[in-house]
Structure 1
């Protein structure tokens, strides 16, 4: 007989939010150091920050604001509040980490793959505790819940459109490196966050 898993406690959620957001912020720190982009709303924020010169943290927080209404209506207040907290945490950490972490050498190809892995794992931690980093992640989780279409695949489609736009902002080789990292991130999510397996409560 299959037992229903117990919901996460507040303490378990808290440690997961710290870990997941820190991993994503670390990925963004490596990403911006190399001048690469990533997928989802974070990628859109990175691209806009490159194009405008504005801070990633501020842009990332701002571009997520329109999605909170959708999250509140479709996913509920608990999910929305958790996601808001996680977006705010990544925004702050992404501003602070470059002051504490300096890369003397980071190969762009290896860096892109590591960035994809770190961000992908960070997102899984958040997803499994009922949160996201807002934006396209909200849409992706909603589609997975309603249709079974995997969240990672929805994000991958969005990413392809985002990377097409990136060719107008950064060098083509950097776009290709970034695309490799995004594929890694989304495959990790698609493989490990599935409606027929553990998705968290």
Structure 2
């Protein structure tokens, strides 16, 4: 008599082996994903808002120091590359360095081509959260991240099956507490909308049982 495991295996449809992305597919994903994230940064900084994760820390540091966001974002990511190399492997970290570099460049160049005559902070926050969340999903599904807390979140998702979005949400709570000490409290509250949207998009769409390893 067949046991329950055999019956379950017989009922499950055969899944084809995963097909790796080609270099061209990775390239277009990194360009699209980082461009969307750079647009999100531009929306936030144009409205005087902040966001979570390493990008939010870079934005906050740029407000305080006057140094460009791209410089801070690139520098803040450097320590996390060691963790990414150990936990996620050299292929992941090389892709991540490429994605981080692209975002740093796009964030520096985009303000020269896009400006806003009128930008409601609530709309800016919501749109920034949406485009950043989708940009991150594109990058994640091509075996990379935007470094920093994103690397830590992906490592914890791979090792402990904790969704990346929830890990990042915890970091965001600490970051926003610090932002209240530096920025206009109203703008920080408005910024929470975008941060929640980013993390919800990642939590709902970047699931281990659906997409990781495919």
Superposition TM-score, scaled by structure 2 size: 0.92
Alignment-derived partner of residue 51 in structure 2: 38
Deviation at residue 199 of structure 1 after TM alignment:
2.9
Separation in 1, partners of 2:174, 2:19: 39
Q: 2:145 aligns with which of 121, 124, 132?
A: 132
Contact 1:116-1:181 at 8 Å conserved across structures: yes
Deviation at residue 200 of structure 1 after TM alignment:
5.2
Separation in 2, partners of 1:36, 1:3: 45
Given the alignment of the two structures, is residue 28 of structure 1 paired with residue 38 of structure 2, yes or no?
Answer: no
Q: What value does the CA root-mean-square deviation take over the aligned residues?
A: 0.8
Which runs of 5 or more residues in structure 2 are unaligned? 1-13
Contact 1:129-1:200 at 8 Å conserved across structures: no
Q: 2:113 aligns with which of 100, 103, 110?
A: 100
Q: Deviations over 1:138-163 (max 9, x none)?
A: 00000000111000000011001100
Given the alignment of the two structures, is residue 156 of structure 1 paired with residue 146 of structure 2, yes or no?
Answer: no
Given the alignment of the two structures, is residue 198 of structure 1 paired with residue 199 of structure 2, yes or no?
Answer: no
Contact 1:82-1:131 at 8 Å conserved across structures: yes
Contact 1:127-1:200 at 8 Å conserved across structures: no
Separation in 2, partners of 1:178, 1:21: 20
Greater CA radius of gyration, 1 or 2?
2
Deviation at residue 126 of structure 1 after TM alignment:
0.3
* Number of matched pairs: 201
Contact 1:120-1:189 at 8 Å conserved across structures: yes
Separation in 1, partners of 2:131, 2:173: 20
Alignment-derived partner of residue 186 in structure 1: 199
Which secondary structure state, in structure 2, belongs to the residue aligned with residue 185 of structure 1?
A: helix
Contact 1:35-1:174 at 8 Å conserved across structures: yes
Separation in 2, partners of 1:55, 1:15: 26
Alignment-derived partner of residue 60 in structure 2: 47
Which runs of 5 or more residues in structure 1 are unaligned? none
Separation in 1, partners of 2:211, 2:154: 14
Separation in 2, partners of 1:122, 1:45: 18
Superposition TM-score, scaled by structure 1 size: 0.98
Separation in 1, partners of 2:129, 2:159: 27
Separation in 2, partners of 1:45, 1:108: 19
Alignment-derived partner of residue 10 in structure 2: none
